[in-house]
Structures are given as structure tokens and as C-alpha cells.
């Protein structure tokens, strides 16, 4: 179990030997990359389990090692130099000798370590027997190329074999969202990347330390390849010593319990998790739930991109079928590797459905995946994927909605059913020279401020956590301002009416109003979807999030205004943009897909984090909860009436219960009066193809056929020919302007 | 025996019918798409997610673009409670989003006690203060 369903037959042993001896380039190995399941038990593991089979003793050993891993995670978070390390976008973990993720730290990003299984398996397969490399005690390997096994190229992982008496008994690993990686744009997530060579560092798994010492020649090469050389070195040291701490704790556990108990504990942790997940899946109803969603751009242009999911559960297995999703974009960065989708879905189960399950890859052992190959969720080897989050987060949310529709009926739950969490990285990336003369390129911790989805009996949490790391932090803004030449003049202030409406409302997102100062060269970029089509829905009658633009005020230096006329400043996006308080300034809105742009001192860049989805019919929301939101300035009087139909005294906010119930009943009757039976509605409303007003990618009603931009042309899924190649947006603009110019000249002539 | 499939929909296993969880209204055959028994209407997205920025001044206002997004609301024909809200590109076929194996469901619940309300799941218990 665990292999993709689209894998062909394996080549014969003779062919494998031939290829092994003659390969000129060791690309990612499909045999490794297409298998997210557990490796078979080794003979040594069998032997250890035969000797140490007592589950109570193995649990003691497991907890002992987990304590060491958690200790190493604390080291990583406290010593790491990257913003991602400081705010929890990092993880440490223990892997079996074969490379399976067995124990992830209790905090941190599970997807990161879930994907490190692949480079460890690559090292085991290719470097262990290679006389020019080999694996020895004290070696440390590094990787960042997502195609060999990372969530995206901005992450860097280091991996250390743990030896006992000359034998590898485990691997230690540490991963940090490092940010800067020398890509075409600073910050490590380049939306401008049109080919994989624009994505910066491409570290296939290689040995970077021997005898527990980093090789300075290789470190220098890596420093020479990125914009933050000191960060590169600092965090390599941190990750290596994090691995070393794990190694120490494993050695101590071996000394106390014996190597057999440690190896058996790591292996049985996987097998027991697999068995428990299967047992829990048996509790779900059998059937299929379906959910499609659309992202509204590639980060370079606005187009409608379908992510199509049918989730089928039968017995103790479950299948994510993403066929019919958009074709790949061969010169855009918004494609997601299938391993990233799988890793994110492991996170879905381990944090949002079964948070009590041990954090390891056994959770995916009963899960199958089906993708069109190639497609936006399984791109070809040469297709960029640096901004995989634009697609994988939508694929994840589709999985969350489908899973919740299986979960609600279960009499035994391990956590609560949840409306969709906000899922997009509504945050600024930045780069340039700081006030201290340092060259930097990274991301604001506001990426972690996504609003939580509503629960059946509780509102979602505001600005809570990202979908990929439930225990991360949004950081201290003042701390960031000590290091970076920009200020969030409005920070962590909830945006009124930015709410996923429902009986229980989603947790809301906050505003960020930024201005640069004290740098001769510093800029911002944004890499988020959802300015035209919302990013998430609600659940069971609740609404999703609104759309999110970038707002800008240029031609102004607000720092001078704050000195000379502070009373004119407004402390919300709504007021700044609608009241336009600064004479002669230019006020504009844009999609949140800003390519790296040098900022002028005192210009305003303004965005909002997103809200989680609402749960249930908004007309069932308790009037006192609506009034509380109103009193806390989270919603306007307009929303209190238009969405929630609450009648109250505008001065005292005292609710008129009777009038409210009458108003709500009238609205329910209005719904009935204005609605049609489903079949009659579909007959008039459903069309046989996209409207053509918007370039459309993915299937419409038949998942075997996909559109590739045009409403009138269909291609067999995974066989889009010619492949999708997008024009350079600047060239598109130039062509349009030249055409207008030519028309003007013709008119004059 | 009734099974709570969503907060607004139940399935009566004996009659194999979808029912409104709010008023008990019969929605339709449990082996078919529940949406067929509901009423549906299209909402302009700005009716739900009203512009926060002045739409006369700006292209992007926090309100979804109606050329890209339509919102379908499904309500019970008897009581008018919302059972589902679906965001779609205009004209896109609605999803058959819940299709359960009713025979398997009946077999599964034959071994379970009936419930008079849905199980929410474990309560949140704050961890002890540790610093």
C-alpha cells in the first residue's frame, strides 16, 4: 500500500543494474518519489521486534526519544536565524534506518519532515554504496530541491545518520523554512520563476559535513549562491547541532534500553499508526465526497485554475482522486509536486482530524492518491514549482471539506468538525538592504496569522495559525522592526466585515499597513491568490472568506505626514482608501501578486490576512454573538442586518429578540420564494462550458477532459498539447499598448 | 434510526430518506443527491461579501468578481434553513458532494446505538500553565 496507482511495471534487475552503472545524472528516483508508504521491515527490524515486542516498554522508549526530539526542536526554534525558525516554521524528527519518518517533534511543520523521507532514501540508495560519497558516522547531508523531497525550495533540510556499532539504526533530521535561496526574487518563493533555473539553489541531497564538521568549501559555495550568506551558515550550524542532539538522545536511549528496543520502537510506531488509522477509517461511512475549488491566478496573471477532488472511503482505505484538475503551467511557478500534496494531507490528518495520532508517515499508509500526470498537482520534472503553495493549499482545503463531510456523522470523534481554515499566504515578502547595511530577503511571520475555521459550537480563532503549522507564532512586530527597515503602522488590527459568516463565524484576519524607511534599496513582494475568487468556502450553510486585494498609496511619505499632520492619518485600510486623506497621493488596488518592487520611503502597502470559513446558517447565529462582534468592531451595522438579520437599538445595542425572530423568519421565507427546485434551477443556470470571460484551466463536468485556457477547446487530461505556456505579462501589456498606439497613429494619419 | 450527516441534513436509515435536520422535512432518496430535494438560488457575491472598498473608485474591493464567482444557496423548501452554500464559476455544474453507500451505512449503524443529537467531539481542555 502507498504506491501511486499510475506507476508502471518496475524494470528488470538486469536493466536496473545497467542503468545504475551507466547513469550520467542521478535525478530524483521515481521508485522513491512515487511511494509515500512504509518501507518493508528490514531483517534487523524483524529481529529487534522479535526481541522487544512489549508495547508498554516500546511506548516508554518512544516517549523517551520524542522528548529528545522535542528538546532538539526547542533548540531549532531558539537558535535558528531565519524568521521561519523563530516563528515555528521548522521541525525536527527521527527516521528509521530505511528513511521512514517515525517521530516528528510535537511542535513544528509536519509536512516538512514528512518529505525528508525521500532524500534520506535517496542517500541510502545512491550514496551509501558510492565510493566517492559513502555514509559514515558524523556525516551530515543537506537538500533543498523539492523534487528530491521538500515542501518547496525555500526550505532546507539536514540529515544525519545515527550509528550504533557500525550500523545505521536511525536518521535525525532538521528542516527550516530558510527563506532566501538565491532565486530570481528574494525570499525563496519566486513568483517570477518561469523555469526551474530561476528558482535559486538546487541542492540535491549531498554530504556537507564529515566527522560532525561542516565543510567550509561547500558552505562557502552555498553562501556565495544566496543573498543572506550569514543566515545560510548560521542555520546550517544550527540544523547540524539539532541533528546531533537527536543523535545523542538516541544513543542514550540505546544505552538504557538496548538497540533492539529503540529500533523496534521506531518501526512499531509506524506500523501501530497504520493499524490505528485503518481502525479509525472503519468508523467513517463508506462513500464518496466531492469538492472542487478554483484559484484565480498563476501569480503572474489572473486565470481560473480548477482543483478537482473526489475522496472515496471504502473499508479501511481512502483515496484522494485529483483527476480533472488543471493542466500544469510549464513556465509558471504555481505548480505543486504531488509529494507536497501528500505531505500537506498528512498534516490534515495529524493536526485537524486525529491530533492524538503519533506524528509520523504511517498515517498515510492506508491512503491512495490519483493524479493526472502531468498536471498542476503532478508537474513534469522541468516544470517550476517554487510557488507550490498557490495550488497545494487549495488541494488541501478541498481535502479538508471532503473529510469533514465524512466525519460529521461519526459517533466517535478525536477532534471537532471544522469549517475550512483560511489557506493563503497573505503576508509580505521583503528584500534589500537593511538599516544595518545587511542584505536580506525573507518573509514576514504574518504568514502564520491565518484565521481559523468555525466549529459546530464555537467561533473560529482570529489570526490563529497557518494550515501547515498549528503551533507556530506570528511574531513580535517590534522585534522585526529592529532588524528590518520597514514599519507596520497598522499591525494585528482585525479588519471589519472580513468574516466567514455563519452560525459560528470564522476566525478573522488582521490588517497590515506597511511603509519602508531607512534604506536606500528595499522592496516588497506578495504571492497570494484570491483577489477575484475567494480562497475557501464555509461548511454546512456557512459562507467562505471574501476576496483579498493589495491596496497601495503612493506619491506620499507618511512618515513626514505623521510628523507634520498626524491627525490626517487613518488606521485602517478601509478609511485610508475610501477617505483618501492625503492630497496628491495615488490610491490603487491590485491582486495580491506583486512581483518584487522597490519601495519608496513612506509609501503604504496594505493587505489583510484571511478569515476562516463560517459553520452553519448565519440566521441561526445567536443575536448576542452578533452584538458582541459589533461591539468589538469586527462587523458593521450593515453586516449585522444584511447577513445576520438582528434587530437592535443602535445606541445601546440592546437586541429586540421578537423583532429579530420575525426578521429572520421573513428572510427564510424570502429564500424559499426566490429559490427554485434544484433540477429546474440547473436547467436554466448550468452551462456546458466556461463563460469565456475568464481563461479557464481544468475540467468542467467531465474529469477526463480539461480546458487549457479556451472555453471551446478540450484536451484529454494529462495529454494537453500544446502544453500550457503563458505569455510574458509585460509583453502582453506592450503588445496591447503598441496596438493602441498604432490605432491612434492610423487615426491621425 | 437517524444519522446526522451534516448539521442540516440527516438520513433516516429505515426509510432511506434525506431529511432536514431543522424541521424533519423529507428531502429525498438517500441514495440520490440531496440537493435535488432542496431549493436553490444564485446570489451575486457582492450581496454576501459586500465591497469594503468603494467600488466606484477601485477594481478590487474585497468582494468576489461576479464574472469569476457565483454563490449558490441551498435551503429547505419547508423551513428555509440553509443546508449548503456553494461557490462556483458562473454556470459550473454543482457538485454531487455527498454520495454515501447506504447499504454499508445501514450495516455500520446496525452495530451502533442511535443518537438523539450529533456528537461534537472532545471538549477543548487548556493545557496547564507551565511557566
C-beta of residue A524 within 8 angstroms of C-beta of residue A599: yes
A12-21, A182-191, A238-247: lowest mean pLDDT where?
A: A12-21
Q: Show residues of chain A in contact with B97, CB under 8 Å.
A: 289-291, 405
Q: Where are the alpha helices (DSSP H) in A348-474?
A: 389-407
A200-214, A297-311, A479-493: lowest mean pLDDT where?
A: A479-493
Element (H, E) at A431: strand A428-433
User: What pLDDT, on the 0 to 100 scale, is given for residue A3?
Assistant: 45
Say how far apart CA A253 and CA B105 lie, in whole Å.
46
Residue of A nearest to B77 (CA): A672
C-beta of residue A75 within 8 angstroms of C-beta of residue A108: no
Beta bridge partners of A724: A329
Name the residue among A670, A540, A508, A536 with its Cα closest to residue A617: A540
User: What pLDDT, on the 0 to 100 scale, is given for residue A31?
Assistant: 95
**Contact check, Cβ <8 Å, A533/B64:** yes
| Shortest CA gap B66–chain A (Å) | 8
Write down how long chain B is: 131
Residue-wise pLDDT for A58-67, tens only, equals 999 999 999 9
User: What pLDDT, on the 0 to 100 scale, is given for residue A749?
Assistant: 61
Q: Where are the domains of chain A?
A: 13-183+193-281, 284-415+695-749, 418-621
**Contact check, Cβ <8 Å, B91/A686:** yes
**Residues 6+ positions from B24 with CB-CB distance below 8 Å:** none
When pLDDT is averaged across residues A7-33 and rounded to a whole number, the result is 82
When the pLDDT of each residue in chain A is averaged and rounded to a whole number, the result is 95
User: What pLDDT, on the 0 to 100 scale, is given for residue A9?
Assistant: 58
Query: Using CA of residue A311, residue A314, residue A316, residue A321, what is the dihedral sign?
Result: negative
| Shortest CA gap B31–chain A (Å) | 11
When pLDDT is averaged across residues A380-386 and rounded to a whole number, the result is 96
- Element counts in chain B: helices (H) and strands (E): 2, 8
- A431 in reach of chain B (CB within 8 A): no
Residue-wise pLDDT for A87-124, tens only, equals 888 999 999 999 999 999 998 998 888 999 999 999 99
Say how far apart CA A186 and CA A596 lie, in whole Å.
8
pTM: 0.95
Residue-wise pLDDT for A551-574, tens only, equals 999 999 999 999 999 999 999 999
User: What pLDDT, on the 0 to 100 scale, is given for residue A588?
Assistant: 98
User: What pLDDT, on the 0 to 100 scale, is given for residue A455?
Assistant: 96
A308-317, A411-420, A475-484, A682-691: lowest mean pLDDT where?
A: A475-484
C-beta of residue A90 within 8 angstroms of C-beta of residue A240: no
User: What pLDDT, on the 0 to 100 scale, is given for residue A340?
Assistant: 97
User: What pLDDT, on the 0 to 100 scale, is given for residue B131?
Assistant: 60
User: What pLDDT, on the 0 to 100 scale, is given for residue B130?
Assistant: 64
User: What pLDDT, on the 0 to 100 scale, is given for residue B71?
Assistant: 98
Name the residue among A76, A50, A427 with its Cα closest to residue A245: A76
User: What pLDDT, on the 0 to 100 scale, is given for residue A7?
Assistant: 46
The grid cell for A591 is 491582486
Residue A567 DSSP code: G
**Residues 569 to 588 of A: which have CB under 8 A from any B CB?**
573-574, 577-578, 587-588
**Contact check, Cβ <8 Å, B89/A694:** yes
Residue-wise pLDDT for A668-688, tens only, equals 999 999 999 999 999 999 999
**Residues 6+ positions from A469 with CB-CB distance below 8 Å:** A88, A89, A108, A109, A448
Say how far apart CA A94 and CA A587 lie, in whole Å.
51
User: What pLDDT, on the 0 to 100 scale, is given for residue A195?
Assistant: 95
User: What pLDDT, on the 0 to 100 scale, is given for residue B128?
Assistant: 74
Write down how long chain A is: 749
Residue with the bigger pLDDT between A595 and A144: it is A144
Say how far apart CA A392 and CA A233 lie, in whole Å.
30
- A420 in reach of chain B (CB within 8 A): no
Element (H, E) at A290: strand A287-295
Beta bridge partners of B121: none
* Residue A1 reports pLDDT greater than 70: no
| Shortest CA gap B30–chain A (Å) | 12
| Shortest CA gap A37–chain B (Å) | 27
User: What pLDDT, on the 0 to 100 scale, is given for residue A2?
Assistant: 44
ipTM > 0.90, yes or no: yes
Question: With b meaning 16 or more CB within 10 Å and e meaning fewer, what string describes A214-237?
Answer: beeeebeebbeebbbbebbbbbbe
Residue-wise pLDDT for A184-195, tens only, equals 988 888 999 999
User: What pLDDT, on the 0 to 100 scale, is given for residue A494?
Assistant: 95
- A501 in reach of chain B (CB within 8 A): yes
Q: Where are the alpha helices (DSSP H) in A193-286?
A: 216-223, 229-257, 259-281
The distance from CA A460 to its chain's CA centroid, rounded to whole angstroms, is 19
DSSP per position, A586-635: EEEEEES-PPPEEPPBT-EEEEEPPPPPPBS-GGGS-HHHHHHHHHTTSS
User: What pLDDT, on the 0 to 100 scale, is given for residue A8?
Assistant: 52
Residue of B nearest to A668 (CA): B80
C-beta of residue B30 within 8 angstroms of C-beta of residue B100: yes
Residue-wise pLDDT for B9-21, tens only, equals 999 999 999 999 9
* Residue A36 reports pLDDT greater than 60: yes
User: What pLDDT, on the 0 to 100 scale, is given for residue A16?
Assistant: 79
- Test mutation, A70, A284, A411, chain B, max B CBs within 10 A: A411
Residue of B nearest to A679 (CA): B36
A9-13, A18-22, A163-167, A357-361: lowest mean pLDDT where?
A: A9-13
The grid cell for A644 is 445576520
**Contact check, Cβ <8 Å, B7/A304:** no
**Contact check, Cβ <8 Å, B99/A289:** yes
| Shortest CA gap B24–chain A (Å) | 16
- Test mutation, B121, B122, B126, B130, chain A, max A CBs within 10 A: B121
If you count residue pairs, one on A and one on B, with CB atoms under 8 Å apart, how many are there?
A: 247
What is the band of A595 on the pLDDT scale with cuts at 50, 70, 90? confident
Of B52, B77, B97, the CB nearest to A574: B52
Query: Using CA of residue A324, residue A330, residue A334, residue A336, what is the dihedral sign?
Result: positive
Of A546, A608, A679, the CB nearest to B64: A546
C-beta of residue A104 within 8 angstroms of C-beta of residue A70: no
When pLDDT is averaged across residues A692-708 and rounded to a whole number, the result is 98
Residue of A nearest to B40 (CA): A675
* Residue A736 reports pLDDT greater than 90: yes
Residue-wise pLDDT for A436-447, tens only, equals 998 888 888 898
When pLDDT is averaged across residues B64-92 and rounded to a whole number, the result is 98
* Residue A236 reports pLDDT greater than 50: yes
**Contact check, Cβ <8 Å, A678/B36:** yes
Residue of A nearest to B74 (CA): A541
When pLDDT is averaged across residues A507-521 and rounded to a whole number, the result is 95
Amino acid at each position: 500500500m502507498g504506491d501511486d496507482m499510475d506507476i508502471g511495471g518496475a524494470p528488470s534487475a538486469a536493466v536496473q543494474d545497467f542503468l545504475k552503472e551507466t547513469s550520467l545524472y542521478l535525478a530524483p528516483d521515481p521508485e522513491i518519489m512515487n511511494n509515500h508508504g512504509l518501507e518493508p521491515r528490514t531483517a534487523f527490524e524483524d529481529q529487534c521486534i522479535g526481541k522487544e515486542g512489549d508495547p508498554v516498554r516500546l511506548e516508554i522508549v518512544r516517549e523517551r526519544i520524542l522528548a529528545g526530539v522535542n528538546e532538539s526542536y526547542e533548540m531549532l526554534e531558539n537558535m535558528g536565524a531565519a524568521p521561519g525558525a523563530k516563528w515555528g516554521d521548522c521541525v525536527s524528527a527521527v527516521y528509521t534506518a530505511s528513511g521512514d519518518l517515525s517521530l516528528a517533534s510535537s511542535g513544528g511543520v509536519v509536512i516538512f519532515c514528512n518529505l525528508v523521507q525521500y532524500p534520506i532514501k535517496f542517500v541510502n540508495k545512491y550514496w551509501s554504496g558510492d565510493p566517492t560519497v559513502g555514509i559514515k558516522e558524523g556525516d551530515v547531508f543537506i537538500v533543498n530541491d523539492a523534487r528530491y523531497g521538500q515542501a518547496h525550495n525555500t526550505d532546507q533540510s539536514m540529515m544525519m545518520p545515527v550509528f550504533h556499532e557500525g550500523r545505521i539504526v536511525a536518521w535525525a533530521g532538521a528542516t527550516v523554512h530558510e527563506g532566501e535561496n538565491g532565486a530570481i526574487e528574494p525570499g525563496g518563493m519566486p513568483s517570477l520563476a518561469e523555469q526551474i533555473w530561476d528558482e535559486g539553489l538546487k541542492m540535491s541531497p549531498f554530504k556537507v559535513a564529515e566527522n560532525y564538521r561542516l565543510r567550509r568549501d561547500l558552505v562557502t559555495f552555498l553562501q556565495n549562491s544566496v543573498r543572506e550568506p550569514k543566515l545560510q551558515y548560521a542555520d546550517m550550524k544550527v540544523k547540524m547541532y539539532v541533528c546531533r542532539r537527536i543523535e545523542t538522545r538516541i544513543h542514550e536511549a540505546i544505552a538504557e534500553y538496548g538497540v533492539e528496543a529503540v529500533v523496534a520502537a521506531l518501526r512499531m510506531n509506524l506500523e501501530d499508526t497504520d493499524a490505528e488509522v485503518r481502525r479509525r477509517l472503519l468508523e467513517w461511512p463508506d462513500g464518496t465526497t466531492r469538492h472542487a475549488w478554483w484559484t484565480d491566478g498563476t501569480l503572474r496573471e489572473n486565470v481560473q485554475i480548477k482543483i478537482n477532488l473526489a475522496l472515496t472511503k471504502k473499508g479501511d482505505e481512502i483515496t484522494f482522486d485529483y483527476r480533472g484538475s488543471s493542466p500544469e503551467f510549464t513556465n509558471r511557478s504555481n505548480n505543486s509536486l504531488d509529494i507536497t500534496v501528500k505531505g500537506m494531507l498528512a498534516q490534515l490528518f495529524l493536526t485537524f482530524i486525529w491530533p492524538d495520532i503519533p506524528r509520523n508517515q504511517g498515517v498515510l499508509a492506508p491512503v491512495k492518491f490519483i493524479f493526472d500526470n502531468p498536471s498542476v498537482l503532478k508537474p513534469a520534472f522541468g516544470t517550476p514549482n517554487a510557488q507550490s503553495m498557490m495550488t497545494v493549499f487549495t488541494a488541501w482545503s478541498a481535502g479538508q471539506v471532503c473529510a469533514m463531510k465524512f466525519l460529521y456523522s461519526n459517533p466517535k470523534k478525536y477532534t471537532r468538525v471544522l469549517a475550512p481554515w483560511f489557506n493563503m499566504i497573505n503576508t509580505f515578502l521583503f528584500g534589500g538592504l537593511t538599516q544595518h547595511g545587511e542584505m536580506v530577503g525573507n518573509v514576514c511571520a504574518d504568514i502564520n496569522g491565518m484565521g481559523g475555521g468555525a466549529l459546530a459550537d464555537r467561533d473560529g480563532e482570529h489570526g490563529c495559525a497557518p494550515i501547515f503549522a498549528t503551533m507556530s507564532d506570528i511574531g513580535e512586530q517590534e522585534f522585526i522592526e529592529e532588524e528590518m527597515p520597514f514599519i507596520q503602522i497598522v499591525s494585528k488590527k482585525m479588519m471589519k466585515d472580513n468574516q466567514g459568516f455563519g452560525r459560528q463565524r470564522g476566525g478573522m484576519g488582521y490588517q497590515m499597513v506597511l511603509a519602508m524607511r531607512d534604506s536606500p534599496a528595499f522592496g516588497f513582494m506578495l504571492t497570494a491568490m484570491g483577489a477575484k475568487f475567494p480562497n475557501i468556502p464555509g461548511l454546512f450553510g456557512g459562507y467562505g472568506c471574501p476576496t483579498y486585494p493589495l491596496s497601495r498609496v503612493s506619491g506620499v511619505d507618511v512618515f513626514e505626514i505623521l510628523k507634520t499632520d498626524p491627525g490626517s492619518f487613518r488606521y485602517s485600510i478601509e478609511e485610508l482608501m475610501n477617505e483618501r486623506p492625503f492630497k496628491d497621493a495615488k490610491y490603487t488596488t491590485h491582486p495580491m501578486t506583486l512581483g518584487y518592487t522597490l519601495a519608496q520611503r513612506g509609501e503604504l502597502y496594505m493587505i489583510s490576512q484571511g478569515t476562516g470559513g463560517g459553520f452553519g446558517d448565519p440566521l441561526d447565529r445567536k443575536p448576542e454573538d452578533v452584538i458582541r462582534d459589533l461591539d468589538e468592531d469586527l462587523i458593521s451595522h450593515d453586516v449585522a442586518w444584511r447577513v445576520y438579520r438582528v434587530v437592535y437599538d443602535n445606541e445601546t445595542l440592546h437586541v429586540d429578540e421578537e423583532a429579530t425572530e420575525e426578521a429572520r423568519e421573513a428572510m427564510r421565507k424570502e429564500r424559499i420564494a426566490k429559490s427554485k427546485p434544484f433540477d429546474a434551477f440547473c436547467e436554466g443556470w448550468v452551462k456546458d462550458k466556461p463563460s469565456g470571460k475568464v481563461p479557464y484551466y481544468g475540467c468542467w463536468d467531465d474529469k477526463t477532459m480539461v480546458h487549457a485556457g479556451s472555453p471551446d477547446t478540450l484536451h484529454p487530461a494529462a495529454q494537453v498539447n500544446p502544453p500550457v505556456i503563458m505569455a510574458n505579462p509585460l509583453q502582453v501589456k506592450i503588445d496591447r499598448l503598441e496596438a493602441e498606439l498604432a490605432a491612434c497613429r492610423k487615426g491621425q494619419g | 434510526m437517524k444519522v446526522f450527516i451534516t448539521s442540516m441534513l440527516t438520513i433516516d436509515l429505515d426509510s432511506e430518506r434525506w431529511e432536514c435536520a431543522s424541521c424533519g422535512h423529507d428531502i429525498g432518496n438517500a441514495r440520490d443527491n440531496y440537493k435535488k430535494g432542496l431549493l436553490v438560488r444564485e446570489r451575486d457575491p457582492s450581496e454576501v461579501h459586500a465591497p469594503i472598498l468603494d467600488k466606484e473608485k477601485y477594481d478590487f474591493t474585497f468582494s468576489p468578481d461576479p464574472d469569476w464567482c457565483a454563490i449558490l444557496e441551498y435551503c429547505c423548501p419547508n423551513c428555509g434553513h440553509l443546508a449548503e452554500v456553494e461557490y462556483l464559476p458562473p454556470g459550473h455544474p454543482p457538485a454531487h458532494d455527498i454520495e454515501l453507500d447506504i447499504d454499508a451505512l445501514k450495516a455500520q449503524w446496525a452495530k451502533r446505538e442511535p443518537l438523539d443529537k450529533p456528537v461534537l467531539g472532545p471538549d477543548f481542555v487548556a493545557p496547564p500553565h507551565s511557566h
